[in-house]
Structure 1
Amino acid sequence: LITELVHKGAMDGVKGRTPEKPSNVVNSVDSMAKAIFDNLFNWLVAKMNIEILPDEKKSGDAGIEAQFAQTTKTVGLLDIFGFENFELNQFEQLCINFVNEKLHNLYISSVFGAEKKEMEREGLQVDLVLPELKVLDVLRLLDNSQTKVAPLGVFNIIADRSQGTLGNDDMNKRVKDMYNNIVKNHEPNAKVFKKKKNTIKFTICHSAKDVVYDSKNFIERNADMMSPSLNKLLLEGTDSLIGKIYSMKTGFEVEEEEAEDPRDRRRRTVAPKTIWGKFSLQIQELMNELAEPLIPKDFTNELSAQAKEVKKVTEPLCEKCDLHFIRCIKPCEKKKDTPIVFVHAMTLQQITYMGVLESIKVKQENFPYRKKHEEFYRLYELLSPAYSEGRYDLLTETQKASKQWDVLCNDILERVFAPLQKAEYERYFAAGKTKILMMGECRAVLEQSRMRASRKYDKMSRMLKRSYKLQEANQ
């Protein structure tokens, strides 16, 4: 292991090994530690997933396993850290915050998508209102490789400057060129990018908060300093556990190698050589599994081809899946055994950047009050022309099943809004196939009408009661 770390990678046909620079040795050690940690995490997840499977899934019988896959429902959980903002934010924080922006965008998209699907189910042609989202600008700033339109994304510039052998030229010059290129491309976009004067730092205005990044070590942190010979040593070395952990991710076991599809072998040989290259592919696979189409149709390089394969496999599955989000809010910074204290400003900030307020805004601006036809009628039956024929509470189940609730609901809306300027109020409600959808203005008019009708019927009830008592007294 020491030999592999302190020498440059072995070359075919060459016996001698050239000593490595001390700085590169340190980078190799760091890369190895990160690789072992990454593979260990994946290995543990895979082991746990296998252990919780029922016996028939682990039987080895292909027929039983296929039947199990078709009849069994599963729940997939994704747990991720929130936005990171430290005193010193480097390449790792940029990657983590990028994933959070992607998930934040997916959350907003899923909320809006759910609204759109419900409108389609109700047979309504409605132009939904979507609030302006800063997250889209931030995502374009960080990674613009898919659109192939200027300006270049921050990650794309880092990847470009990470090409070639590190250490053969002046690293300071390379870092400075990278920083100047980032500033040149994004300084005009003051909405989400700010340059720090007399430094190689810059600020990105994330959805959560503004984060200052130090670009000094971006290129080194992005470089994958693991040589192929070091990878092979960890995979085939004397430590069998490390080998098992490594093979779980690389798939280099002999049995799998023999049965491997040639296309998979080809893709593996052209796998990205930088941290960002591997990271971006993982993000694409994750987003496809979470039902977000990321790959444009005209993006045909090798990386997108692999992601397209993932998309082709996962898309049918995603259509059958529901996506849910659990948003965790940290009420205060204290971690001691003290009563829970809610710091209002801190809590509000989290609710804001998590997109909760944005999702509420989407609901508010797109018919926030929705009632099924029968439920709508039961609520506003006092306004129905059919109310005199019998109250809802007195109907039998057979009578309820025979009612045309959609027609009765439309009669209520017609009766309430006919005396008013109906054209003005029509944009505040929509009658769907199964529901009545209302804006606040429509609901306010209906509630006022219901209260007036309630007072009217209450007055009539009291008058009838007095009349009945008088008749009794006169008899």
Structure 2
Amino acid sequence: MTKLTYLNEPGVLYNLKRRYALNEIYTYTGSILIAVNPFTRLPHLYNEYMMEQYKGVQLGELSPHVFAMLNDSMSQSILVSGESGAGKTETTKLIMRYLTYVGGRAVLDDRSVEQQVLESNPLLEAFGNAKTVRNDNSSRFGKFVEIQFDTSGRISGAAIRTYLLERSRVVQITDPERNFHCFYQLCASGKDAELYKLGHASTFHYLNQSKTYELEGINNEDEYWKTKRAMDIVGISRSDQDAIFRTLAAILHLGNIEFSPGKDSDSSKIKDSTSNFHLQMTATLLMCDPDVLVSSLCTRSIHTNEGIIIKELDCAAAAANRDALAKTVYARLFDWLVENINKSIGQDVDSKAQIGVLDIYGFESFKHNSFEQFCINFANEKLQQHFNEHVFKMEQEEYKSEKINWSYIEFIDNQDMLDLIEKKPIGIIALLDEACMFPKSTHATFASKMFRNLSSHPRLEKTKFSETDFTISHYAGKVTYQTDSFLEKNRDYIVAEHCNLLSSSRCSLVSGLFSSLPEESLRSSYKFSSVASRFKQQLQALMETLSSTEPHYVRCVKPNSVNRPQLFENQSVLHQLRCGGVLEAVRISLAGYPTRRTYAEFVDRFGVLVPELMFGSHDERALTEAVLEKMKLNNFQLGRNKVFLRAGQIAILDVRRAEVLDNAARRIQSCFRTFAARKEFVKTKKASISIQAYCRGLFCKENV
């Protein structure tokens, strides 16, 4: 892209559109790879022949491709970003497939490290992906996969880290979205579904809040057996698999337990026989005591100095308690899966190099934005800062190190945005945690304190028609957040009754999910843990990992809102390019020197333009300068080791080089044709003379 004659927004957009029409979905903009979702399969781009073509090839030598971003000779990270439906998950799978190809061994064992790494994808997708408004297979968690290589360049280990699973989706969805894929797969599993007393997905409260049960082109039963196969390959035993699906079935039955008022006004009981059936099934599947399960749902223990007081819960509180249990069990089951995948694959602490692939949720802005969108957009602000530091700050550091005469270019720095969210003691997260610690706090008191402490911040606005909503000016645009469920979603309570219930389960997997809790948390009724603060710590660890590697950026673009091939919506694409920092990178390139070559590379390519100076000269810097002066190019700069060129100058040199080579080719062809024609002429002339001589000889004999 930086080679375009006109490097501006219209030029970038036109270039992407023309390439997209030709199914050229990949385009470079400096060190950024833009990947436009084709919404159709292009197998010719990813077959074994293509993987072999890009193996070991330096960036820029072949056409733009996601395979060209990788080099297993050094530690690096590939950051895949973009909005929901832009193709992040598919791009990540392609990268991992290529890595297992270049770093794989010639073995037939399905349980090789490479195969386990690959099969971890569909397994985590089943438990962590869901249909959203924008995407049928949206990742509802962040994932960083670190693949380790030994001294011979072979894969020797791997580690998977996950971030911020959207736990609230387990108990609440909106039409036409879906819950996590694994629930629908289990309901369609045939005999297994019958074993767990499951019916169609529409019969369960946690699934029927939306009327979307099927996905176009996807068979839930087939996907169930694919998930089971993936479990086999990553090393999950059949007994653990059975426990996993029993636990999923228990969550579905748990969601169908309803409550009615008890004898006292603030108490509750199991509503009817249908609810009692689902309660019995939940207890059976979790292998725990049904009476203790009822007690843990309908009552709460309060520890006081005088002793333990049992408090009855009303119907609404009991339902909220039920949902809290479902979310906790699912979240711990997901963490168990990740942990066991990592144990099965194994890490190589002595690896020579690592390649990390980050697949994380893109920037989100909906009509209603809650705590999840706040955390997701906070993560994207962090990644944008890393992008700024690498693409902009480090680029300008190179100008300094090469001693280039350079005027510093301003770019959008979002540090003030990050301070607003995470700075202690009065950042939004700190104020949210403080509000969560007080039982009587509400979202209104939290919002009031936030506005009181942060009202002067230029990035924060109070909305006109609400006392509790707030608007943040993110790097990608303004987003208004509704705080009504912020406190509830940030509180990750460990409920003593739930822990006691499940830690005593006769199923080793279920009891194991609750076995590592500290003793003090089991003595208290609630143990508060901040989801936002934990997520902030995870992001900080991720940033440290990314900073220790050489980063590459893949910006995935969704070309249209209807998920159709060969449809390119200009305004939508332009907005995504702005949000992803691509156009900001183009602006920096336009103002600076986007093309830079070492003197040896430059002379090797363009030395043909000054053949009269090439003989006997070894000063590559002087030869570079002579080429540029002969071509009458201005405003270039010569650094200590490289030449720096303005946008479009390399294209002028390439055109002139092509002319010189064409002229040389034509001269060679002319000389060769002359040689061939003369050779043919001499041969013909000689034959003619011989024939003439022969004929004259016959004529003379006849006369005699």
Q: Smaller-chain TM-score range?
A: 0.5 to 0.7
Give me the whole-angstrom Cα distance separating, in 2, the residues matched to 1:193 and 1:371: 44
Asked if residue 230 in structure 1 is aligned to residue 498 in structure 2, the reply is yes
For the residue of structure 2 that corresponds to 1:142, the secondary structure is helix
Assess, with a 3 A threshold, how the Cα gap between structure 1 residues 364 and 88 changes in structure 2: closer, same or farther.
same
2:438 is the counterpart of 1:438:
no
1:112 corresponds, among 383, 386, 392, to 392
Q: Which residue of 2 aligns with 1:360?
A: 586
Matched, 1:184 2:452: yes
1:78 paired with 2:358, answer yes
* Greater RCO, CA 8 A, separation 6+: 2
1:376, distance to aligned residue in structure 2 (A)? 1.3
* Cross-structure match for 2:435: 161
2:329 maps to 1:39 = no
Does residue 332 (structure 1) correspond to residue 606 (structure 2)? The answer is no
Give distance in 1, aligned partners of 2:604 and 2:528: 61
Contact 2:404–2:638 (CA<8 Å) still a contact in 1?
no
Looking at structure 2, the residues matched to 107 and 216 of structure 1 have their Cα atoms a distance apart, in angstroms, of 33
Partner of 2:355: helix, strand, or coil?
coil
Counterpart of 2:542, as a letter, is: L
Instruction: Provide the C-alpha distance between the structure 1 equivalents of 2:409 and 2:561, rounded to a whole number of angstroms.
Output: 33
Q: Percent of pairs identical after alignment?
A: 25
1:410 aligns with 2:622: yes
2:550 to 304, 313, 322: 322
User: 2:576 matched to which residue of 1?
Assistant: 350
Task: Please give the per-residue CA displacement for 1:164-194, whole angstroms capped at 9, x wherever unaligned.
Answer: 2x2xx3x5xx43332223233444444x333
CA–CA separation in structure 2 for the residues paired with 1:242 and 1:41: 12
> Which amino acid in 1 is paired with 2:550?
D
Residue in 2 that maps onto 1:138:
417
Aligned to 2:383: 103
Instruction: Considering fraction of residues, name the structure with more helix.
Output: 1
Letter in 1 for 2:579: Y
Given that residues 24 and 225 in structure 1 are in contact (C-alpha distance below 8 angstroms), is that contact kept between their aligned partners in structure 2? no
Q: Distance in 1 between matches of 2:407 and 2:528?
A: 40
Q: Which residue of 2 aligns with 1:310?
A: none
Asked if 1:2 is matched to 2:214, the reply is no
Q: Tell me the CA shift for residue 139 of structure 1.
A: 1.8
Q: What SS does the corresponding residue of 2:561 show, helix, strand or coil?
A: coil
Corresponding residue for residue 542 of structure 2: 286
Instruction: Give the gaps of 5 or more residues in structure 1.
Output: 58-67, 258-264, 266-270, 292-317, 391-402, 466-475
Equivalents in 2 of 1:239, 1:162: separation in Å?
34
User: In structure 1, what is the Cα distance between the partners aligned to 2:306 and 2:508?
Assistant: 28
Which residue identity does 1:432 align to in structure 2?
R
Instruction: Quote the Cα distance in structure 2 between the aligned partners of 1:163 and 1:444.
Output: 62
Q: In the aligned structure 1, how far is the partner of 2:506 from the partner of 2:407?
A: 61
Distance 2:499 2:396 in 1: 48
- Structure 1 pair 415–372 and aligned structure 2 pair: CA distance change class (3 A): closer
Give, in angstroms, the shift of residue 98 of structure 1: 1.0
CA contact (8 A) 1:31 1:224 kept: no
Q: CA 1:285 to 1:408, structure 2 compared with 1: closer, same or farther past 3 Å?
A: closer
Secondary structure of 1:210's aligned partner: strand
Residue 374 (structure 1) aligned to one of 579, 600, 616: 600
- In the alignment, structure 2 segments of 5+ residues that lack a partner are 1-292, 522-526, 672-704
| 1:194 lines up with 2:461 in the alignment | yes
> Deviation per CA, 1:133-170, whole angstroms, max 9, x where unpaired?
2533322222222xx6xxx3222222222222x2xx3x
CA distance in 1, matches of 2:513, 2:396: 44
* Alpha-carbon separation, structure 1, partners of 2:315 and 2:538: 31
User: How far off its partner does 1:347 sit?
Assistant: 1.4
1:206 equivalent in alignment to 2:498: no
Q: For 1:241-287, what per-residue CA distance to the aligned partner results, in whole angstroms no more than 9, with x for missing partners?
A: 2233455xx587xxxx9xxxxxxx9xxxxx97222232222222222
Classify the secondary structure of the residue corresponding to 2:494: coil
> CA 1:48–1:419 in structure 2 vs 1: closer, same or farther (change >3 Å)?
closer
Residues 441 and 245 (structure 1), Cα distance of their counterparts in 2 relative to 1, 3 Å cut:
same
Assess if the C-alpha contact under 8 Å between 1:143 and 1:155 holds in 2: yes
| Cα deviation, residue 203, structure 1 | 1.6
Aligned partner (choices 338, 341, 357) of residue 48 of structure 1: 341
Q: CA deviation at 1:418?
A: 11
CA contact (8 A) 1:385 1:412 kept: no
Query: 1:381 & 1:76 partners in 2: Cα distance?
Result: 39
* 1:63-122 superposed Cα distances (whole Å, 9 cap, x missing partner): xxxxx53145443333222122222211122112111221222223232365367557x6
Deviation, 1:409, is: 2.5
Describe the superposition over 1:401-426 as per-residue Cα deviations: whole angstroms up to 9, x where unpaired. xx73xx23334426856999x9x94x
Q: Is the 8 A contact 1:161 1:219 kept in 2?
A: yes
- 1:252-267 alignment, distance < 5 Å: none
Three-state SS of the structure 2 residue aligned to 1:203 is strand
Provide closer, same or farther for how the CA distance between residues 8 and 328 of structure 1 changes in structure 2, counting only shifts above 3 A: farther
CA distance, structure 2, for counterparts of residue 374 and residue 419 of structure 1: 18
Greater strand proportion: 2
C-alpha contact (below 8 Å) 2:606/2:627 kept by paired residues: no
Secondary structure at the counterpart of residue 444 of structure 2 = helix
Alignment coverage as a number of residue pairs: 370
* Preserved CA contact (<8 Å) 2:472 2:480: yes
- Structure 1 position 378, deviation (Å): 3.6
- Structure 1 residue 369 displacement after superposition: 1.1
CA offset digits 1:436-470 (Å, max 9, x no partner): 2223487699789x69x969x99xx9xxx9xxxxx
TM-score, normalised to structure 2, is 0.45
Q: Find the residue that maps to 1:161 and give its secondary structure.
A: helix
Q: Which residue of 2 aligns with 1:470?
A: none
Q: Which amino acid aligns with 2:431?
A: I
Distance change in 2, residues 1:326/1:381 (3 Å): closer
Q: Which of the two has higher C-alpha Rg? A: 2
